[in-house]
Amino acid sequence: LITFSDRRYPTLLKQISDPPLLFYIQGDPDILHLPQLAVVGSRSASNGGLLLGSEFARSLTEAGLIITSGLALGVDGAAHSTAVTLEKPTVAVLGSGLLNLYPRRHQALAKGIVACGGALLSEFPLNAAPLPYHFPRRNRIISGLSAGVLVIEASQRSGSLITARLALEQGREVFALPGALNNPQSHGCHALIREGAQ
């Protein structure tokens, strides 16, 4: 358990307007102080989106950045999995309690994250269920820990767009990957680019 006054509390996260007063962590809290970039995207990403998520995660990890994401299916999982394959740390911020991991099919991935020196963290009680309103709250922590947010694929109503908008409010960089015009999973990225994302 790390509280706001704990010296291990990440400096960048303290700077957002509504930082969590405490959070639970499993893994190495020291990596929260290393440069992080959030990689987020659609839960139902295309094969191309999953491949690009993995490729960007690989390049960013090899460049020395910590990949931070939400352990969700799709792009999040692909980004975390790439870091684990490289045996490098990655940070997963949960929308449920640490003892009620969601999605359940990522239990092995979560173990791999901790084994590779990464961390799982959540501001919710240890057994908290993955309730719908937890995920927008979780997203502010993902962007709050990171210097910037890269959106790989996102529909117009994607939770990834919430993360991108929170990042802008927090003064962080926002990057969006353009995609095929006929792919609905690219429309949110195109909207971000029109609004000024790199």
Closest CA relative to residue 71, chosen from 142, 147, 168: 142
Cross-strand partners of 186: none
| 96 has pLDDT over 90 | yes
> 3-class SS at 130?
coil
128-134: long-range contacts (C-beta < 8 A, 24 or more apart)? 128/96, 128/97, 128/100, 129/96, 129/97, 129/100, 130/94, 130/95, 130/96, 130/100, 130/102, 131/95, 131/96, 134/95, 134/96
Convert the pLDDT of each residue in 23-78 to its tens digit: 999 999 999 999 999 999 999 898 999 999 999 999 999 999 999 999 999 999 99
- Binned at pLDDT 50, 70 and 90, residue 111 comes out as very high
Convert the pLDDT of each residue in 145-184 to its tens digit: 999 999 999 988 888 999 999 999 999 999 999 988 888 8
Convert the pLDDT of each residue in 163-172 to its tens digit: 999 999 999 9
Kindly give the pairing relationship between strand 22-27 and strand 2-3: antiparallel
> 3-class SS at 159?
helix
Instruction: For residue 157, give the H/E element and its range.
Output: none
| 13 has pLDDT over 90 | yes
Specify the pLDDT at position 12: 96
Convert the pLDDT of each residue in 122-152 to its tens digit: 999 999 999 999 999 999 999 999 999 999 9
Specify the pLDDT at position 6: 97
